[in-house]
Amino acid sequence: MNKRQITMVTWALILANIMSGLDATIINTAIPAIVSDLHGIQYMGWIVACFLLGMSVSVPIWSKLGERMGNKFAFELSLVLFIVGSILEAVAPDIYFFLISRVLMGVGAGGMGSLPYIIVGYIYPNIKRRTVILSYIAASFSAASIAGPLVGGWIVDALSWHWVFYINVPLGLIAIILSIIFYRGIRKPEKNVHFDKTGATTLIVGLSCFLIGMQMLGIASTTMVISFVVLGIILLAIFIVVEKKAESPIVPYCSGKES
């Protein structure tokens, strides 16, 4: 890739991180209006939790998807999921539809927040320049997270809470277009990479059960909370055992091998 292409791709990566960081906090000031319109005050805490759940369970998977199908494809897919989740949240007819869409959006945000760090490693071979760009990406995420509540409050006052999500559509499309036009794969996808389906399943279900159990504290019965937490811990323990024997582990550290 030439200098112009690298610059445009870098802006796409920074924009993706800005959206990911912004949407982690922008919704805070919109929550009262959302639960009022969708009649879901009892699920107020889940609005933030579902987004973070989608992010946390998907981050380890995105890197493996990038290895198998290419970082370019994985990055663009994460943007598409994020945009679709945003639109579905904006048009949600009830709180349940909204929360499911929130998880989808979180899954996309997981790729948008993690894949740029991998991509930068390939498009910037000079380690000093790479360090500078990584600092820009990290700073953009942090700055967007801080600005989120202020931006969200202004949007809710000036327009409506729906625009907290609609605003992601043009920004996401710009990032996708920049990636499609300027991003040229530095390396070909590794078609022979074995995707650890068992590890991915135990990780996703285990983390989901554990985090759902913690989120249900004070809402559900103690027995149900303990059941979810214990099931999550058991599945995560199984995940560690599976990863030690996996040919291409989701988390290489667990196996003691280099991926």
CATH of the domain at 76: 1.20.1250.20
Contact 164, 19 (CB under 8 A): no
Res 24: pLDDT: 77
Q: Domain range holding 43?
A: 3-189
Domain identity same for 170 and 203: no
Summarize pLDDT for 105-149 with one digit per residue, the tens: 988 888 888 888 888 888 888 888 889 988 888 888 888 888 888
Helix axes 197-215, 222-245, angle to 10 degrees: 160
Res 189: pLDDT: 55
Summarize pLDDT for 228-258 with one digit per residue, the tens: 888 888 888 888 887 777 666 666 655 444 4
Domain identity same for 155 and 203: no
Domain identity same for 145 and 210: no
Tell me the two tokens of residue 145.
Answer: 């997270």
Domain identity same for 108 and 171: yes
Of 189, 224, 243, the one marking the end of a domain is 189
Domain identity same for 32 and 159: yes
Share of the chain above pLDDT 70, in %: 89
Res 83: pLDDT: 93
Q: What is the largest CA-CA distance in the chain?
A: 59
Of 127, 155, 189, the one marking the end of a domain is 189
Contact 235, 57 (CB under 8 A): no
Regions of the chain with pLDDT less than 50: 255-259
Res 258: pLDDT: 46
How many structural domains does the chain have? Answer: 2
Tell me, what DSSP letter sits at residue 245? H
CA-wise closest residue to 113 among 23, 21, 194: 21
| Phi and psi angles of residue 185, each rounded to the nearest 5 degrees, phi first | -55, 125
